[in-house]
Chains A and B, each alone.
Chain A
Amino acid sequence: MNTKELIIEKVKEKFGESVEEITDFRDDLCFIIKKDQIVNFGKYLKEDSDLQFIMCKDVTAIDWATRKKRFTTVYHIYSFKLNYALRLKANIDDEPPTIETVSSVWKSANWYERETWDMYGIKFLNHPDLRRIYMPEGFEHHPLKKDFPVLGIPGSLPLPHKAD
């Protein structure tokens, strides 16, 4: 059996009821799972000797603006042994949005989650150092949310005076 079927079978046998959906668009396999199982899922995928998804490439989020579950966090992970890149998604429906951090499983997720907090306002529980990474510290908004205008809010960022 090929790699895709191997992964689907192993995941289904361990986490059958937490997987909400499995999609396969343009040959990219993606699991949509319940958000409180994300850390167990990640730990299983990393430590299983057949799968070994040891590298986390990216953590980001999608803002669906009008849907009831407004945000979806997206994780891209990679396994050197199988040479396969996998995508995991978790829908978030509480307000303000929170989800458990995966930086205890993959260390590289540290800065990616800081970027997601800065841009979307999703709080990662038990993160070692959740601060803004791109915008200055005193900035009060989260720029990539769909209700923030692309030209910005005048006066939200300070500018030095011209010396006249």
Chain B
Amino acid sequence: MDRVRQIYNDEKLLKKLQEDQNLTIEDVLENEMIINMGPQHPATHGVLRLVLRLDGETVVGIIPELGYLHRGYEKMAENMSYIEFIPHTDRLDYTGTMCNNVGYVLAVEKLAGIEAPKRAQYIRMIVAELSRIAAHLVAIGTFAMDVGAVTMVMWTFREREKVNSIFDRIAGARFTTSYTRIGGVASDIDDQSIAEIVQFLVELEPALGEMDKLMLSNRIFIDRLEGIGILPKEDAISLGVTGPNLRASGVEYDVRRAKPYLFYNEIDFKIPTFTQGDCLARYFQRGDEVKESIKILHQCLAKMPKGEVIANSPKKVLSHKTEIYSKMEELIHDFMIINFGINPPVGDTYFSVENPKGELGFYIVSNGSGQPWKLKIHSPSFCNLQAVSQLCKGAMISDVVAIIGSLDPVMGEADK
């Protein structure tokens, strides 16, 4: 007992352990059970705690508990400049990292009134779509692994390794890259990387065909997902669900079409929508979005112009190193930007992009100094997790695993 008291300073638990425990057989058979699907569990995507109230094996009520990965992003953002926060945005949705970088940098550019050159915008689109493919591959692979098809995670990670080596060549790191900068991107893409991207796309189409053949002819997989966790259209809108989950319930809303950013209004792509709203529809939705991303990538690679990759406005954007070492004004501006930050005008803006998980939005309040007064991150996984209580009512325990996998939350951004 002494060692227990040493390790856990938890008086409530100790009192309960020392109480009289006279449990009779009737207690166990008549009443409902409360079970804890704890933060450490192979099938919850990350550290999510679910408290289930069960009657036999049917879920009567469910409460998710977040906060096991709350790292204090918004408080840290108030104490560092806009440029210093870019590596932190990588770790929000850590499966598709370039999209978060692009979203944050676009929000700051909207606030400060900077415009990046055309080649930089196309490069941002290319890396964002590659990230989307990588994130959906992780989602599909781990979802299939949760339901029992363990081979899928090996196949999808084999494809994802190719994306990682492309990012390694472009940005220097496998996935937490911090590649974009305010006013453009950090460095240019060379022809070898473009050849590798084309080669990857050529190999991806038959691999997707193989995966489809494996999963869709499996009777158990289809039976386990069809008709489970149906989210009707009005409930999806009123609960604030975003991203592929919203589109699989019949609402045709994609930020790239509704409020186009970068050059998405010049690219021709469809928005896949399903009306059933069950787990199988969400699985197909992600597969179709990967196919659309392949189309977008082909068009971007064809249309990308030559030019600079960072904007030429030395007061607000860090210039190239050769200029800083040789010219006086650039040196002074570099010193001012690094130490005191870019000073955007007083005001607040909200900007959102389409992440693989949903709509990621940044609400920045500026008081004219180099550090934001407030930065709020609207994360899609937090909004999607609100729907869990309604979706899991009446399902069995094994369906809870399938539903969480199909909603695809990432706790790094749900907990901020």
Q: Do chains A and B touch in the complex (CB under 8 A)?
A: yes
Option from A25, A83, A161 in Cβ contact (under 8 Å) with B258: A83
How far does the alpha carbon of A101 sit from the alpha carbon of B415 in the complex, in Å? 23
A26 and B111 within 8 A (CB): yes
Residues B374 and A62 in contact, CB atoms below 8 Å apart? yes
A69 to chain B, nearest CB (A): 15
A87 on interface, CB distance cutoff 8 Å: yes
Contact among B79, B347, B363 for A60, CB-based, below 8 A? B363
Shortest CB-to-CB span from A59 to chain B, Å, is: 10
Residues of A contacting B373 with CB < 8 Å?
Answer: 62
Known pairs A110-B386, A150-B76; A134 contacts B240 (CB<8 A):
no
Which residues of B237-267 have CB atoms within 8 Å of chain A's CB atoms? Answer: 237-240, 251, 253, 258-259
Q: Which residue of A lies closest to B252 (CB)?
A: A80
Q: When the two chains form their complex, are residues A133 and B67 in contact, meaning their CB atoms are under 8 A apart?
A: yes
B67 & A143 in contact (Cβ 8 Å cutoff): no
Kindly list chain B residues whose C-beta atoms are within 8 Å of the C-beta of A106: 238, 240
Contact A26 B374 (CB under 8 A): no
Of B5-13, B127-135, B182-190, B289-297, which binds chain A? B5-13
Asked whether, in the complex, the Cβ of B240 is within 8 Å of the Cβ of A57, the reply is yes
Question: In the complex, what distance in Å separates the CA atom of A132 from the CA atom of B415?
Answer: 13
Interface status of A44 (Cβ within 8 A of chain B) = no
Residue among A87, A108, A132 with max Cβ neighbours from chain B (10 Å) = A108
A interface residues, tally (CB under 8 Å): 37
Interface residues of A in 63-117 (CB under 8 A from B): 63, 74, 76, 80, 83, 85, 87, 106-108, 110-111
CB nearest to A116 among chain B residues: B376
Q: Which residue of B lies closest to A146 (CB)?
A: B78
User: In whole angstroms, what is the CA distance A96 to B271 when docked?
Assistant: 47
- Do the beta carbons of A111 and B79 come within 8 Å of each other? no
**CB atoms of A108 and B238 under 8 A apart:** yes
Give the docked Cα–Cα distance between A161 and B363 (Å): 40
Q: Are B67 and A136 in contact (CB under 8 A)?
A: yes
Within 8 Å of chain A (Cβ to Cβ): is B303? no
Neighbour of A76 across the interface among B7, B253, B347, B363, CB < 8 A: B363
- Chain A residues contacting B75 (CB-CB under 8 Å) are 143-144, 148, 150
Also in contact, A134 and B111, with CB within 8 A (given A62-B374, A80-B253, A108-B383): no
Q: Assess whether B415 is in contact with A134, with CB atoms less than 8 Å apart.
A: yes
Is the C-beta of B365 less than 8 angstroms from some C-beta in chain A? yes
Min CB–CB distance A34 → chain B (angstroms): 20
**A108–B386 touching, CB < 8 Å:** yes
Chain A residues lying within 8 Å of B238, measured Cβ to Cβ, are 54-55, 106-108
Distance A87 CA – B251 CA, assembled complex (angstroms):
22
Residue numbers in B under 8 Å from A87 (CB-CB): 350
| Residue pair A135, B67 in contact (C-beta under 8 Å) | yes
Contact pick for B363, options A54, A58, A134, CB 8 Å? A58
Report which of A119, A136, A143, A161 forms a contact with B6, defined as CB distance below 8 A: A161
Q: How far is the CB of A129 from chain B (nearest CB, A)?
A: 9
The proximity string for B residues 68-99 relative to A, scoring 1 for CB distances below 8 Å and 0 otherwise, is 00101011101100000000000000000000
Q: Is the beta-carbon distance between B347 and A26 smaller than 8 angstroms?
A: yes
B7 touches A163 (CB 8 A): yes
Within 8 A of A (CB), among B38-70: 66-67, 70
Mask of A142-158 contacts with B, CB within 8 angstroms, 1/0: 01100010100000001
A58-B376, A134-B70, A150-B78 known; 12 new pairs, CB 8 Å cut-off, are A26-B347, A26-B349, A55-B237, A57-B361, A62-B365, A106-B238, A106-B240, A135-B67, A143-B75, A144-B74, A144-B75, A160-B9
Q: Which residues of A contact B (CB under 8 A)?
A: 25-26, 28, 30, 54-58, 60, 62-63, 74, 76, 80, 83, 85, 87, 106-108, 110-111, 119, 132-136, 143-144, 148, 150, 158, 160-161, 163
Interface residues in chain B, defined as those with a beta carbon under 8 Å from any beta carbon in chain A: 3, 6-9, 66-67, 70, 72, 74-76, 78-79, 110-111, 113, 237-240, 251, 253, 258-259, 347-350, 359, 361, 363, 365, 373-374, 376, 378, 382-383, 386, 415-416
Report 12 cross-chain contacts, Cβ distance below 8 Å, ordered by A residue. Answer: A26-B347, A57-B359, A62-B373, A63-B374, A74-B363, A80-B251, A108-B238, A143-B75, A148-B75, A160-B7, A161-B7, A163-B3
| The 3 A-B residue pairs with the shortest CB-CB distance in the complex, in nearest-first order | A108-B240, A25-B347, A134-B67
